[in-house]
Amino acid sequence: MQEKSTIDESRHYGTPGIFIPIKGHFEQEENARDVGYSYEDIFRLEKLIPEKMNEKRSPLHFQGSKVAADLIRKFLC
């Protein structure tokens, strides 16, 4: 199942993933499509798995807390 939160967490922490949606499940198909996958990728697993196994983690670095604190500080001052 391709929950949006699972895909977002994988992307945030840089964990390689293969996101294949349930065929006909609109939300899952859309979420998977956003990261470049579709139901048809189920037939390419022999290629996708080795690619992902060799892919390094690359976490995204966010400063969301700092940005939020700066906005609050600016608003209060």
The answer to whether the CB of 20 falls within 8 A of the CB of 41 is yes
Please tell me the predicted confidence (pLDDT) of residue 77.
Answer: 81
**Residue ranges, the chain, pLDDT below 50:** none
Please tell me the predicted confidence (pLDDT) of residue 2.
Answer: 55
Please tell me the predicted confidence (pLDDT) of residue 5.
Answer: 85
Number of domains present in the structure of the chain:
1
Task: Classify residue 10 by burial, with Cβ atoms within 10 Å: 0-12, 13-18, 19+.
Answer: middle
Domain residues for the domain of 62 are: 4-76
Please tell me the predicted confidence (pLDDT) of residue 65.
Answer: 82
